[in-house]
Amino acid sequence: MINDILKLIFITLLPFLELRASIPAGIIGGNISFFGISISILRMPWLTVFIVCVITNIILGIIIYFMLDKFINFFLRFKIIEIPYKKIVLRTQRKIHPYVEKYGEIGVALFIGVPLPGSGVYTGALGAYVLGLKFKKFIVANIIGVLIAGIIVTIISTGVLQLTT
């Protein structure tokens, strides 16, 4: 069981897959291949899968946002990056600041929560950072968005399991 939980965590940490892939993998089970890596997971109780994947994804979003801030601040020490960054990103942040303050958390939460390719905590954290959403507000949006995605994917995965058995 511990090995399967670690496999779920690994899949959840993969960009573009996250819990959108790890929840079905844990609930449905079987051999799953991602980018040439074959992973064998046993069927696990849906609640265990949900909790592991959601907590992992929430923590992942927080780490990404935090590291993104450190990464960008490091590169802003170089004029070749600082000048276009200030011109494009900071100017855009000033223009959209009122909308971000009004709809930012909800928008980011919905973006993270829609279980489609290209959405999720990786792109949600990047979008929130570029839009200038504060760290604490991102954490709230991240938690809400991941819970939405986790619930949707779990419902679909348990429904698919019911149809196949």
Q: How far is CA 6 from CA 29, 79, 149, in A?
A: 14, 42, 20
Contact 57, 18 (CB under 8 A): yes
CB 147 within 8 A of CB 160: no
Nearest alpha carbon to residue 120 among 26, 19, 22, 23? 19
Measured over the CA atoms of residue 38, residue 147, residue 60 and residue 55, the dihedral's sign is negative
pTM for the model: 0.82
Q: Mind listing the pLDDT tens digit for each residue in 23-51?
A: 998 998 877 776 677 777 788 999 999 99
Contact 11, 58 (CB under 8 A): no
Q: Given pLDDT bands bounded at 50, 70 and 90, which one contains residue 163?
A: low
pLDDT digits (tens, 9 = 90+) for 88-100: 777 776 766 676 6
| Structure confidence at residue 42 (pLDDT) | 80
Instruction: Give 30's strand partners.
Output: 41
